[in-house]
């Protein structure tokens, strides 16, 4: 059995774990990322790629702040990745639209955004409510059923698969090891660190980060933490490459830098089941064709359903174990948007050894859940 | 001079006077329900449909082509080659299958792409997009059982230059010959191995097409290995015909054996072929290069429906896991023909008939007591057809040189991902084909991994010294052939589905 | 390079189609792919990723290298579509264009 001795071990090589590991790189610091096998739930492969601010934080103003901090730090992340690995993650932050297909939808959306911005303590930014003319001015080709939408200049997108690839490459370039096929069997806390056992051997570390997505629920109690996360299924449609026609992301339709068009999004509580549901695909396809009728004849090359990592209120959980202070937990369902915050704000806090008070709103205690004995 | 009755821009799926195919029930779409849906009108599908009809089941056969026959009997109802001597008698042996199907009363929907098959509530629902491009209809079909007869596809042949114009599969060239009477001009080279290579060469000879050379890639010593299975092969229906065919080709075409490497040169089209024998390199000028190294099951539809795949090491490919009746691990779903594992043309029809028996039994039409004696005949026919399989599979298993590309050789034709990219990531410990796909997009194009999946599997297996069976394959989803956004939008929705998307 | 087998017994009608704006004589029953190859069209598209020329490869609908635009509808598999009189066939250059425009461009 191989035994590795590292300073920091990150359980989970998806966008959350990889961004944190990226932020933890330092000369002389030994880093290991433990990842599962090829066929696993893998929320990070099901990502849409939005870097999205508008609409976030209803019920938790701190999340609105956290999201905006991440959006502001994103250009630095993209540049660092490009410099480090040569991979261009195609960051674009020139604003984004949420489009509505009925007066009812538009009214509900406008009300929601008002309520969001009116929350005490919410870090405000501009969300413009657009009527049809307003949307048409930004997107001349939209279909007749589009009645309006909301716009924020803080929104954007990137290439999420390339982001993951770049993060992994940067970790490796810094001497970090990404161990695949290493689903954790058990974590044994020790006096000054942890022993992790998996099919790929033993890893001993001083600092431990749990970023295992849905797997966090199982491993968190091993270090005195709780991660009440459950699956939330989302469907995506991806078309063939088409000539560029959409240069700004909509919350549910975006054209990638490769030219393919991605269409989302749906949310269902189905447990650990990523079976494709054709009725959902049909609704997504129909709405996309209403927004852009010129997409009607475009070929769909692939679709998928993936499981978001959903906490009870939908907001991230960031926690540090009181019983074993070297263990940290991070989970969210916006791994792309929050990648910069994870790399540049969360990782340094982990490296410093303590989560500062700004993370308290994200602690698991907010669910009134007791830590496992 | 246009045929009467056709308007400009109207595409007819080609049923016209003089065509020999007149099914009793044609174009019954939009069919919305049937007892047994069959996907694929090759010999397995035709035989399965005909047999199901014998038990009084309502049957609808869906096929992508305008006319039945699959690939092996492609265009058989309307080949412009009227002289049977060109294509060989085996081709015309498909005609009785088509006639029997036409007379069976089975429904037939041509130009139809079955893009999804979902098993639920004791039945199966198919998503179908049918008709000519300007007049596509999309509909769902409910069936009590489905028999997938989607057949085989050419094994990838990833060598330098394999994506150039002027390079085609041997199967593709044969389809051109059969359906359009179109043949290569200029300097033509065939490369690879397997019975189809010899068959096409023989057909070209009969048609008067000049062949520069056949570059045969079976390695030295392989025949000796295969000869262990020779006695069985000698008793097979292929043996006598095959031997005669090979002799004729050898006498008339330049044959280069034990070719260990092939590369096609040219900037915008094939210009030459470089090949190696015994570590010496040679170059041939060529305008048309035809490649073939066997066929493999088209597993995409089976896998997307949830059927497990099993690795066949002798044939170096994946096939759906099925039992001797063609049942899968998905209720209501059966597989027959080469789509369930490569067994050759003559095995396809008995496999189709066995699946039909299993379906008829499962749907309560016939008892075991009725089913089993009939099955014995089918199994006897199947056993005869399988004679020689081990010999052919052993002899013609491609070498690593032709399954494991390197350098800038394209692995994924659709996304233009080359071998060195895949190899580098495999060396860094990429977890498997699905992670490889996420990293570099191989398998994300319209062919959905059909021409790269096995190559990616093989490269990861070699670089990481893992068993191909354990490395696995792409995770495939619907649609298994690209369909339009409109066609997907036409699938039925539910209130729950709407709520999951429109969250006010 | 491909050509039709000379066959005096071939009774198929000549059907006129248009390829990239130029008239081409095909035969009734041809697929678009067969018609293009028989007419000496060397490549039927260039790829969206690298601009590489491609021609029909498998002739059975699984390789997707034969994608062309037919009567204005893009990404049609030429090997699966039968020709019809007056059909307009255009080679596809790179990613297909869709009608209309949207966005700042």
Using the Cβ of C50 and the Cβ atoms of chain A, whether some distance falls under 8 Å is answered with no
In chain C, the residue whose alpha carbon lies closest to the alpha carbon of B16 is C29
Chain C partners (3+ C-beta pairs within 8 A) = A, B
Q: Confirm whether A173 is domain-assigned.
A: yes
Which pLDDT does position B7 carry in this prediction? 29
Of residues B259 and A370, more confidence is placed in: B259
Q: DSSP alpha helices (H): ranges in B276-418? A: 300-305, 345-362, 368-386, 389-395, 400-403
Q: Do A280 and B445 touch (CB under 8 A)?
A: no
Residues A301 and A195 both lie in one domain = no
- Of A172, A266, A297, which has the smallest distance from its Cβ to B484's Cβ? A297
- Of B127, B444, B472, which has the smallest distance from its Cβ to A39's Cβ? B472
Q: Which helix (H) or strand (E) holds B36?
A: strand B33-39
Matching residue, tokens 């470089």: B274
Residues A234 and A360 both lie in one domain = no
CB B402, CB B260: distance < 8 Å: no
Which pLDDT does position C103 carry in this prediction? 28
For B22-54, the pLDDT digits (tens) are 666 555 445 689 999 999 999 999 999 999 999
Distance of CA B477 to the CA centre of its chain: 19
Which pLDDT does position B304 carry in this prediction? 95
Q: Distance (Å, rounded) from C-alpha C27 to C-alpha C10? A: 10
List b or e across A348-370, with b for residues whose CB sees 16 or more CB atoms inside 10 angstroms: ebbbeeebeeebebbebeeeeee
Which pLDDT does position A341 carry in this prediction? 98
| Residue B312 Cα, gap to closest chain A Cα (Å) | 20
Q: Do A297 and C74 touch (CB under 8 A)?
A: yes
Instruction: Find chain C residues with C-beta within 8 A of A297's C-beta.
Output: 73-74, 98
For B428-447, the pLDDT digits (tens) are 889 999 999 999 999 999 99
Could you tell me which residues of chain A have a Cβ less than 8 Å from any Cβ in chain C? 138-142, 240-248, 259, 292-295, 297-299
Q: Which helix (H) or strand (E) holds A161?
A: helix A160-173
Matching residue, tokens 């039994």: B361
The fold adopted by the segment(s) C14-91 is Ubiquitin-like (UB roll) (3.10.20)
- Separation in Å, CA A167 to CA A217, A304, B217, B317: 24, 23, 42, 33
Of B317, B291, B160, B313, nearest in space to B217 by CA: B291
Residues A358 and A337 both lie in one domain = yes
Q: Do A278 and B492 touch (CB under 8 A)?
A: yes
Q: Which helix (H) or strand (E) holds B423?
A: helix B419-427
- Of A35, A38, A285, which has the smallest distance from its Cβ to B434's Cβ? A38
Which pLDDT does position C20 carry in this prediction? 96
Final residue of a domain: which of A118, A152, A186?
A152
Q: Do C1 and B186 touch (CB under 8 A)?
A: yes
Mutate: best of B308, B431, B460, B474, partner A, most A CBs <10 A: B431
Reduced to 3 states, what is the DSSP secondary structure of residue B227?
helix
CATH number for the domain including A253? 3.30.9.10
Q: Do C1 and B184 touch (CB under 8 A)?
A: yes
Of A257, A229, A247, nearest in space to A335 by CA: A229
Q: Map B118-178 to HEC letters.
A: EEECCEEEEEEEECCHHHCEEEEEEEEEEEECCCEEECCCCCCCCCCCCEEEHHHHHHHHH
Total count of domains within chain A: 3
Q: What mean pLDDT comes out for the span B86-111? A: 89
DSSP conformational letter for A186: E
Q: Can you give the C-alpha Rg of chain A in angstroms? A: 21
Mutate: best of C72, C101, C103, partner A, most A CBs <10 A: C103
DSSP conformational letter for A51: E
Distance of CA A250 to the CA centre of its chain: 17
Instruction: Find chain B residues with C-beta within 8 A of A288's C-beta.
Output: 485
Of A43, A6, A32, nearest in space to A305 by CA: A43
Residues A235 and A119 both lie in one domain = no
Count the residues in chain B: 504
Which pLDDT does position A47 carry in this prediction? 85
Chain B partners (3+ C-beta pairs within 8 A) = A, C
Of B418, B421, B481, B416, nearest in space to B448 by CA: B481
Which pLDDT does position B215 carry in this prediction? 98
Instruction: Find chain A residues with C-beta within 8 A of B118's C-beta.
Output: 278
Residues A166 and A111 both lie in one domain = no
Which tokens belong to A289? 């064709």
Instruction: Find chain B residues with C-beta within 8 A of A287's C-beta.
Output: 501-502
Q: Distance (Å, rounded) from C-alpha A74 to C-alpha A252? A: 21
DSSP conformational letter for B399: P
- For chain C, positions 1-20, list CB contacts with chain A under 8 A: none
pLDDT tier for residue C8 given thresholds of 50, 70 and 90:
low
Q: Do C62 and B176 touch (CB under 8 A)?
A: no
Which tokens belong to B50? 């005909």
Q: Is the pLDDT of residue B425 over 60?
A: yes
Q: Distance (Å, rounded) from C-alpha B436 to C-alpha B403? A: 18
pLDDT in tens, chain A (373 residues): 789 999 999 999 999 999 999 999 999 999 999 999 887 788 877 789 999 999 999 999 999 999 999 999 999 999 999 999 999 999 999 999 999 999 999 999 999 999 999 999 999 999 999 999 999 999 988 999 999 999 999 999 999 999 999 999 999 999 999 999 999 999 999 999 999 999 999 999 999 999 999 999 999 999 999 999 999 999 999 999 999 999 999 999 999 999 999 999 999 999 999 999 999 999 999 999 999 999 999 999 999 999 999 999 999 999 999 999 999 999 999 999 999 999 999 999 999 999 999 999 999 999 975 544 4
Matching residue, tokens 């991440």: A70
Residue A132: give the domain boundaries: 96-152
CA torsion sign for A45, A50, A55, A56 is: positive
Q: Is the pLDDT of residue B236 over 80?
A: no
Within 8 A by CB and 6+ apart from B125, the residues are B116, B117, B118, B140, B141, B142, B143
**DSSP code per residue over B235-302:** TSHHHHHHHHHHHHHHHHS-EE-SEEEEEEE-SSS--EEEEEETTEEEEEE-SEEEEEE-EEE--HHH
Which pLDDT does position B474 carry in this prediction? 96
List b or e across B267-298, with b for residues whose CB sees 16 or more CB atoms inside 10 angstroms: eebbbbbbbbbeeeeeebebbbbbbbbbbbbb
- Of A141, A244, A299, which has the smallest distance from its Cβ to C75's Cβ? A299
- Is the N-terminal amide bond of A157 cis, ω within 30° of 0? no
Residues A353 and A294 both lie in one domain = no
Instruction: Find chain B residues with C-beta within 8 A of A267's C-beta.
Output: 500, 503
Q: Confirm whether A72 is domain-assigned.
A: no
Q: Distance (Å, rounded) from C-alpha B361 to C-alpha B364? A: 5
Instruction: Find chain B residues with C-beta within 8 A of A258's C-beta.
Output: 441
Q: Is the pLDDT of residue B60 over 50?
A: yes
pLDDT tier for residue B1 given thresholds of 50, 70 and 90:
very low
Q: Do C103 and A259 touch (CB under 8 A)?
A: no
Q: Distance (Å, rounded) from C-alpha A113 to C-alpha A98? A: 11
Q: Do B176 and C64 touch (CB under 8 A)?
A: no
Q: Is the pLDDT of residue B350 over 80?
A: yes
CB B172, CB B292: distance < 8 Å: no
- Of C75, C100, C104, which has the smallest distance from its Cβ to A248's Cβ? C104
- Of B180, B207, B413, which has the smallest distance from its Cβ to C30's Cβ? B180
Which pLDDT does position B30 carry in this prediction? 52
Reduced to 3 states, what is the DSSP secondary structure of residue A252?
coil
Residues A207 and A237 both lie in one domain = no
Other residues' Cβ atoms within 10 Å of the Cβ of residue A131: 12
Q: Distance (Å, rounded) from C-alpha B132 to C-alpha B6? A: 14
In chain A, the residue whose alpha carbon lies closest to the alpha carbon of C102 is A141
Final residue of a domain: which of A152, A182, A217?
A152
In chain A, the residue whose alpha carbon lies closest to the alpha carbon of C95 is A242
Q: Do A105 and B501 touch (CB under 8 A)?
A: no
Strand pairing category for A177-179 and A31-34: parallel
Using the Cβ of C80 and the Cβ atoms of chain A, whether some distance falls under 8 Å is answered with no
Q: Which helix (H) or strand (E) holds A64?
A: helix A61-85
Which pLDDT does position A138 carry in this prediction? 94
pLDDT tier for residue B283 given thresholds of 50, 70 and 90:
very high
Distance of CA B72 to the CA centre of its chain: 9
| Residue A367 Cα, gap to closest chain C Cα (Å) | 43
Residues A289 and A323 both lie in one domain = no
Cβ-Cβ pairs closer than 8 A, A with B, add up to 136
Its pTM stands at 0.93
Within 8 A by CB and 6+ apart from A372, the residues are A220, A221, A224, A225, A226
Other residues' Cβ atoms within 10 Å of the Cβ of residue A81: 25
Q: C100, exposed or middle or buried, with CB in 10 Å at 0-12, 13-18, 19+? A: middle
For B156-208, the pLDDT digits (tens) are 999 999 999 999 999 999 999 988 999 999 999 999 999 999 999 999 999 99
Quote the strand ranges of chain A, DSSP E.
3-11, 31-34, 50-51, 96-100, 128-131, 148-152, 156-157, 177-179, 184-190, 193-198, 201-210, 230-241, 253-255, 260-263, 299-310, 317-320, 327-331
Q: Do C103 and A298 touch (CB under 8 A)?
A: no
- Of A284, A298, A299, which has the smallest distance from its Cβ to B501's Cβ? A284
- For chain B, positions 441-470, list CB contacts with chain A under 8 A: 441, 444-446, 448
Q: Do B491 and A282 touch (CB under 8 A)?
A: yes
In chain C, the residue whose alpha carbon lies closest to the alpha carbon of A94 is C104
For B300-345, the pLDDT digits (tens) are 999 999 999 999 999 999 999 999 999 999 999 999 999 999 998 8
Matching residue, tokens 């048609």: B207
Residues A282 and A179 both lie in one domain = no
Residues A12 and A141 both lie in one domain = no
Q: Do A245 and C101 touch (CB under 8 A)?
A: yes
Q: Confirm whether A26 is domain-assigned.
A: yes
- Separation in Å, CA C63 to CA B20, C54, C57: 29, 11, 7
Residues A175 and A215 both lie in one domain = yes
Mutate: best of A171, A239, A257, A279, partner B, most B CBs <10 A: A279
Q: Do C82 and B14 touch (CB under 8 A)?
A: yes
Q: Confirm whether A248 is domain-assigned.
A: yes
Q: What mean pLDDT comes out for the span C62-90? A: 95
Q: Map C16-69 to HEC letters.
A: EEEECCEEEEEECCCEHHHHHHHCCCCCCEECCCCCCEECCCCCCCCCCCCEEE
Q: Is the pLDDT of residue B427 over 70?
A: yes
């Amino acid at each position: 059995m191989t035994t590795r001795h590292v300073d920091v071990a990150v359980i989970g090589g998806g966008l959350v774990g990889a961004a944190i590991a990226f932020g933890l790189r330092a000369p002389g610091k030994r880093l290991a990322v433990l990842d599962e096998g090829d066929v696993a739930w893998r929320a990070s492969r099901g990502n849409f790629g939005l870097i999205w601010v508008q609409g976030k934080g209803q019920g938790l103003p701190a999340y609105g702040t956290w999201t905006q901090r991440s959006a502001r730090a994103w250009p630095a992340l993209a540049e660092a990745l490009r410099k480090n690995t040569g991979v261009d993650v195609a960051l674009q932050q020139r604003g984004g639209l949420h489009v509505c297909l009925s007066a009812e939808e538009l009214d509900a959306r406008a009300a929601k955004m008002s309520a969001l911005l009116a929350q005490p303590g919410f870090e405000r930014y501009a969300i413009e409510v657009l009527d049809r003319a307003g949307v048409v001015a930004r997107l001349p080709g939209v279909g007749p059923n589009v009645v309006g939408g909301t716009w924020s200049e803080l929104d954007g997108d990137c290439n999420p698969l390339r982001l993951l690839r770049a993060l992994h490459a940067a970790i490796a370039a810094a001497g970090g090891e990404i161990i695949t096929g290493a689903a954790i069997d058990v974590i044994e806390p020790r006096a000054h660190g942890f022993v992790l056992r998996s099919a790929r051997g033993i890893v001993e570390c001083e600092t431990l980060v749990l970023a295992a997505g849905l797997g966090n629920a199982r491993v968190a109690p091993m270090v005195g933490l709780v991660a009440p996360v459950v699956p939330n299924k989302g469907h995506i449609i991806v078309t063939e490459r088409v000539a560029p026609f959409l240069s700004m992301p909509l919350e549910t339709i975006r054209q990638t830098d490769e030219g393919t068009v991605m269409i989302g999004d749906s949310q269902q509580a189905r447990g650990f089941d990523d079976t494709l549901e054709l009725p959902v695909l049909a609704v997504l396809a129909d709405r996309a064709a209403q927004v852009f009728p010129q997409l009607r004849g475009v070929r769909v090359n692939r679709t998928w359903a993936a499981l978001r990592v959903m906490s009870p209120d939908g907001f991230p959980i960031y926690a540090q174990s009181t019983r074993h202070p070297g263990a940290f937990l991070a989970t969210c369902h916006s791994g792309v948007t929050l990648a910069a915050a994870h790399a540049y704000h969360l990782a340094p806090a982990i490296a410093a050894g303590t989560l500062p008070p700004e993370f308290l709103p994200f602690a698991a205690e907010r669910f009134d859940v007791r830590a496992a004995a | 001079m246009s045929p009467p009755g056709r308007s400009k821009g109207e595409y007819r799926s080609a049923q016209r006077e003089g065509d020999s195919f007149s099914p009793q029930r044609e174009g019954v779409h939009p069919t919305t329900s049937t007892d047994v849906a069959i996907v694929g009108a090759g010999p397995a599908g035709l035989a399965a449909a005909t047999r199901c009809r014998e038990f009084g089941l309502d049957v609808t056969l869906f096929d992508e082509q305008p006319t039945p026959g699959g690939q092996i009997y492609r265009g058989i109802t309307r080949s412009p080659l009227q002289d049977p001597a060109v294509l060989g008698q085996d081709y015309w042996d498909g005609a009785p299958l088509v006639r029997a199907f036409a007379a069976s009363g089975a429904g037939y929907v041509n130009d139809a792409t079955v893009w999804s098959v979902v098993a639920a509530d004791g039945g199966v629902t198919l998503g179908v997009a049918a008709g000519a491009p300007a007049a596509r209809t999309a509909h769902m079909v409910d069936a009590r059982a489905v028999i997938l007869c989607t057949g085989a596809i050419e094994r990838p042949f990833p060598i330098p230059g394999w994506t150039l114009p002027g390079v085609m599969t041997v199967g593709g060239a044969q389809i051109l010959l059969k359906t359009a009477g179109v043949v290569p001009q200029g300097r033509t080279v065939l490369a690879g191995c397997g019975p189809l290579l010899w068959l096409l060469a023989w057909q070209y000879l009969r048609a008067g097409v000049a062949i520069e050379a056949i570059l045969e890639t079976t390695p030295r010593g392989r025949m000796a290995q295969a000869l262990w299975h020779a006695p069985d092969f000698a008793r097979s229906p292929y043996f006598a015909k095959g031997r005669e065919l090979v002799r004729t080709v050898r006498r008339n075409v330049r044959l280069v054996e034990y070719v260990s490497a092939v590369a096609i040169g040219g900037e915008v089209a094939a210009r030459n072929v470089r090949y190696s024998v015994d570590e010496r390199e040679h170059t041939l000028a060529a305008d048309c290069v035809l490649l073939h190294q066997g066929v493999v099951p088209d597993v995409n539809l089976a896998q997307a429906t949830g059927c497990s795949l099993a690795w066949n090491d002798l044939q170096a490919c994946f096939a759906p896991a099925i039992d001797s009746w063609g049942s899968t691990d998905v209720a209501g779903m059966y597989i027959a023909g080469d789509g369930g594992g490569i067994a050759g043309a003559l095995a396809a029809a008995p496999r189709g008939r066995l699946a039909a028996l299993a379906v008829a039994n499962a749907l309560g039409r016939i008892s075991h007591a009725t089913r089993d004696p009939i099955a014995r005949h089918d199994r006897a026919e199947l056993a005869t057809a399988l004679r020689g399989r081990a010999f052919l599979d052993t002899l013609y298993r491609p070498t690593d040189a032709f399954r494991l590309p390197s350098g800038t050789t394209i692995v994924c034709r659709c996304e233009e991902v080359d071998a060195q990219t895949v190899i580098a990531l495999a060396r860094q410990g990429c977890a498997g084909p699905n992670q490889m796909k996420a990293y570099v997009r191989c398998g994300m194009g319209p062919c959905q991994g059909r021409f790269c999946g096995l190559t990616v599997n093989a490269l990861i297996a070699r670089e990481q010294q893992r068993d191909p069976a354990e490395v696995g394959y792409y995770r495939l989803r619907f649609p298994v052939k690209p369909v339009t956004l409109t066609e997907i939008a036409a699938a039925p929705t539910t209130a729950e589905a709407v709520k999951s998307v429109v969250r006010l | 390079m491909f050509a039709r087998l000379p066959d005096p017994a071939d009774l198929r009608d000549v059907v006129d189609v248009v390829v990239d704006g130029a008239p081409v004589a095909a035969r009734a029953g041809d697929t678009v792919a067969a018609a293009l190859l028989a007419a000496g069209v060397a490549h039927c598209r260039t790829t969206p990723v690298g601009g590489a020329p491609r021609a029909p490869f498998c002739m059975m609908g699984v390789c997707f290298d034969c994608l062309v635009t037919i009567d204005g509808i893009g990404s049609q598999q030429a090997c699966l579509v039968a020709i019809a009189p007056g059909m307009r066939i255009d080679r596809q250059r790179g990613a297909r264009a869709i009608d209309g425009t949207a966005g700042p461009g």
